[in-house]
Each structure stands twice: as C-alpha cells, then as structure tokens.
Amino acid sequence: MPKYVIERDMPEAGKLSPQQLQAASQKSRSVMQEMGQIHWVQSYVTDDKIYCIYNASSQELVREHAKRGGFPADSIARVVTTIDPTTAEV
C-alpha cells in the first residue's frame, strides 16, 4: 500500500493539550475504521504544523479522511523511497 506524508497547517499545534491530541487521535481512528484502506502510522507535532505518515490505497482516500475528520490536509505527498544513515554504507 502506498505511503503518504501529510502536512497539516495548524497554528499553535504544539500547544495542544494531551486531551486535545487524544480527542483528535480518537476521531482519526474512528473515521479510518469507517473507511478502510487507510492506516495511520505516526504523526509529528511541531509548533504550527502536524506531519502525518499514512498508508493508503490513494491520495484521494487521504483527502477524504481529512474531510470527514475535520482535519486540514494542506499538502499530501506520496513517498517514493526512504533513506537513512545506512543508505550511505557500501
């Protein structure tokens, strides 16, 4: 299944309380269970954005999840490959 990076512009995201993050996580999971063919891997919260990693059958499904969940999805990019420090090894 393709992997996507989603950029969500959310001013002051880094100030969200644990309870607010929990509620958003619960909403996301609930929508995913209804939709199928989409899996949330992990998210990174910064001061003003949240970056999410999803596996989904299509970019359109990622957009639909955002719409149903009430989340912004300002940028969605398909991951074509990954690299890490071991990529430098011969």
For the chain, what are the domain ranges? Answer: 3-88
Reading phi first (left if > 0) and then psi (alpha if -120 to 50, else beta), residue 56 is in beta
Contacts (Cβ under 8 Å, ≥6 apart) of 74: 7, 8, 9
- Looking at CATH, the fold of the domain delimited by 3-88 is given as Alpha-Beta Plaits (3.30.70)
Q: Express each pLDDT in 5-37 by its tens digit.
A: 999 999 999 999 999 999 999 999 999 999 999
Q: Express each pLDDT in 30-89 by its tens digit.
A: 999 999 999 999 999 999 999 999 999 999 999 999 999 999 999 999 999 999 999 999
Predicted structure pTM score: 0.91
What was the pLDDT predicted at 90?
A: 80
What was the pLDDT predicted at 87?
A: 94
